Structure 1
Amino acid sequence: MREGEKRAADMRRHAAGFVARVASARLPLDYSVASLRVVDFLIDGLRKGGADRGRVDTVLFGLGAYVGEVLARRAGAEWVDLDEAQRAYFGQGVGVRMPDGRVWNPLGKVVNRYEVGAEESLQTFYLTLPGRRSRACAAL
């Protein structure tokens, strides 16, 4: 792992830090599946604001960490450090592994929402995500 790369062990802390920073804006980021709609809305606002990608990278990273943490808390995923092939494919050093073993890239999904738009909804991503644990288990 290169210096400056994000590590799976740090991602929960990054998500919590992001939520703490935006708490003053009274955003309902409570790690619920419904809060992913808020994330979609926030990213749409960044897009409409016309800021270039470099100016919003820190916010996109925070939102990606948050989305990954929703997957961890609600779908049974766990943060993982990606291997070399996965890093090359996803363009990220960390991702989440679902209970069925599939690996996903929430950081990249947030960037896709920013770059592509509404068809890359993060709430829809969660709701159609294969490999998450059953609803009964998620309530525990």
Structure 2
Amino acid sequence: MERTSELPDAAGMSRYVEGVVAEWLRGERRLPLDYSVESLRVADRIVAGVRAGRGADERTVARALRGVGAYVGEVMVRAGGGSWVDLDSRQRDYFEQPVGVRMPDGRVWNPLGRAMRRYDRGKGGRESLYVFYLLLHGRMGGVVRGVR
């Protein structure tokens, strides 16, 4: 599945997410996406809806999942104090994404990949985007550098 095209670099991710949210708020959808941690439950439902949408072409699915993953990352930035970062070549190879989020403890996380896993693996609690954030937040206490 197409995973990285149409994504800006780290400096452009917040603006990209604002565009995605604006698109999702237009028309009938009116999704409650306010960049709160609680809104990640809505992100989980969006992915579930994409999974249920039988017959959607691969490009449409990839675009939706990029948007959801970027939204999760922006919540990590706004609510968790993280920052978008351009990944180095090793991280790009591992995450299969061009950008990630560095949290205050120095760890780099992959919200774009997490949205893909949520889609690929179904609705299991371990892949929930909301739970992902809660687990992430609980790990922010120690200062350990690494890649997650």
TM-score bracket for the superposition, by shorter chain length: 0.7 to 0.9
Aligned length, in residue pairs: 131
- Cα distance in 2 for residues equivalent to 1:5 and 1:13: 11
Match of 1:9 among 11, 15, 19: 11
Of Structure 1 and Structure 2, which has the larger fraction of its residues in helix? 1
Counterpart of 1:32? 36
User: Is there any run of 5+ residues in structure 2 with no aligned partner, and where?
Assistant: 142-148
In the TM superposition, what is the alpha-carbon distance from 1:65 to its structure 2 partner? 1.1
In the TM superposition, what is the alpha-carbon distance from 1:131 to its structure 2 partner? 4.2
Residue identity matched to 1:86: Q
Q: Are the structure 2 counterparts of residues 30 and 5 from structure 1 closer, same or farther at C-alpha, using a change threshold of 3 Å?
A: closer
- Cα distance in 2 for residues equivalent to 1:90 and 1:49: 26
- Cα distance in 2 for residues equivalent to 1:73 and 1:84: 26
Contact 2:8/2:16, CA 8 A, preserved across alignment: no
Residue identity matched to 1:42: I
Contact 1:98/1:131, CA 8 A, preserved across alignment: no
Runs of 4+ in 1 over 4 A off after TM superposition: none
The C-alpha deviation readout for 1:59-113, integer Å capped at 9, x for no partner, is 1111111110000011111000000100011001100001011000111111111
Counterpart of 1:20? 22
Structure 2 counterpart SS, 1:80: strand
- Cα distance in 2 for residues equivalent to 1:79 and 1:5: 12
CA RMSD of aligned residues (A): 1.7
Residue identity matched to 2:79: R
Residue identity matched to 1:22: W
Normalising to structure 2: TM-score of the pair?
A: 0.82
Normalising to structure 1: TM-score of the pair?
A: 0.87
User: Is there any run of 5+ residues in structure 1 with no aligned partner, and where?
Assistant: 134-140
Larger mean Cα displacement after TM superposition, 108-117 or 45-54:
45-54
- Cα distance in 2 for residues equivalent to 1:61 and 1:55: 10
In the TM superposition, what is the alpha-carbon distance from 1:132 to its structure 2 partner? 3.8
The C-alpha deviation readout for 1:27-54, integer Å capped at 9, x for no partner, is 0000000100001001101101123543
Percentage of matched positions with identical amino acids: 55
